[in-house]
């Protein structure tokens, strides 16, 4: 069963097309990463799918409801967690959750709050003011509020921005736990390691969907070749390689250069002589999702220009 099945979504603002014929399918219980540069249309697409914006074109269903006719019904079944912490900082954790429970008309309020506090490990901090929480605990409170009404679909916009690695891992452990229980998750992220935690990813750039599939499929279909170059004066070597035949990207990674390109043969011809230099080695490496991300960005035209 598909939780999301939308096609050819279009949204325009001020005569400019922000989302241009975007189609997406997400199965129930699946975690899908939504990737793309800032301003690429990710948030606008998510808002159309959760009933906050009306599409100017296209259509489809979310949780079996029509995205145009049934926007109010979709809202009741969706949890939407934005990047910005948007709860009352002068209220305690429990008071914030009580407010959310009343918004969703959950009865009895006390039981729903207590169950949610326990499920998300917040019970010991129930009386702490939200404004005094660290980034990781604020994130946990936001997630608790989003899933309190037992939504069938969870939409996350840059959910772990500004939190430490431990909090990010704990957050993702919880997301996978929820998905295993049947919750469908669509998460917008810029972190490549987070994208790799998703079952599938979709890449949008300046309003257009460019790729969709598992991480391995997206990397494979990008058709990139990557070489790792080690040696002295890497900064000088990087400058030398920029613009050479077959070289689309040159990026330092610790003590190596990642040299990436679409034209396999031209790239091989360019990097092969480097291996003949003193103390310099060249070997073929594995193309990363970040390499693909950068390649997509470089090949796309800003729709605001």
Identify the CATH homologous superfamily for domain 225-286.
RRM (RNA recognition motif) domain (3.30.70.330)
pLDDT at 86: 78
Confidence check: pLDDT of 286 > 90:
yes
pLDDT one-digit tens code per residue, 235-263 = 999 999 999 999 999 999 889 999 999 99
Average pLDDT of the segment spanning 97-104:
94
pLDDT at 300: 58
pLDDT at 302: 53
β-strands 200-205, 31-35: how paired? parallel
β-strands 57-62, 2-13: how paired? antiparallel
Give the Å distances, CA to CA, from 92 to 50, 75, 134, 160: 28, 26, 14, 21
Structure tokens at 233: 């004066």
pLDDT at 83: 74
Confidence check: pLDDT of 273 > 80:
yes
pLDDT at 284: 95
Mean predicted lDDT score pLDDT of the chain: 91
Average pLDDT of the segment spanning 59-87:
90
Label residue 304 by pLDDT band (50, 70, 90): very low
Give CATH for domain 2-219: 3.40.50.300
Average pLDDT of the segment spanning 272-287:
93
- Which sequence spans correspond to the domains of the chain? 2-219, 225-286
Q: What is the pTM of this model?
A: 0.87
Confidence check: pLDDT of 92 > 80:
yes
pLDDT one-digit tens code per residue, 6-41 = 999 999 999 899 999 999 999 999 999 999 888 888
């Amino acid at each position: 069963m598909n939780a999301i099945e939308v096609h050819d979504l279009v949204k325009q603002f001020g005569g400019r097309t922000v989302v241009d014929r975007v189609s997406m399918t997400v199965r129930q219980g699946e975690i899908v990463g939504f990737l793309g540069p800032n301003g690429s249309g990710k948030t606008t697409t998510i808002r159309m799918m959760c009933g906050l914006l009306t599409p100017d074109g296209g259509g489809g269903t979310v949780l079996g409801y029509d995205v145009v006719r049934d926007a109010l019904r979709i809202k009741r079944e969706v949890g939407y967690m934005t990047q910005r912490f948007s709860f009352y900082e002068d209220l305690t954790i429990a008071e914030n959750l009580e407010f959310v429970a009343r918004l969703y008309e959950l009865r009895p309020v006390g039981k729903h709050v207590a169950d949610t506090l326990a499920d998300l490990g917040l019970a010991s901090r129930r009386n702490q003011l939200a404004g005094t929480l660290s980034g990781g605990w604020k994130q946990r409170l936001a997630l608790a509020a989003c899933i309190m009404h037992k939504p069938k679909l969870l939409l996350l916009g840059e959910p772990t921005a500004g939190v430490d690695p431990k909090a990010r891992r704990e957050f993702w452990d919880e997301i996978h736990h929820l998905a295993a229980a049947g919750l469908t998750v669509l998460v917008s992220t810029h972190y490549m390691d987070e994208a790799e935690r998703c079952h599938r990813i979709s890449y949008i750039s300046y309003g257009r969907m460019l790729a969709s599939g598992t991480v391995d499929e997206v990397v494979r279909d990008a058709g990139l070749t990557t070489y790792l170059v080690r040696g002295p004066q890497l900064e000088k070597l990087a400058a030398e390689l920029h613009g050479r035949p077959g070289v689309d990207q040159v990026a330092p990674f610790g003590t190596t250069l990642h040299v990436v390109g679409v034209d396999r043969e031209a790239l091989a011809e360019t990097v092969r002589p480097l291996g003949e230099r003193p103390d310099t080695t060249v070997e073929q490496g594995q193309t990363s999702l970040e390499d693909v991300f950068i390649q997509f960005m470089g090949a796309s035209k800003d729709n605001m220009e």
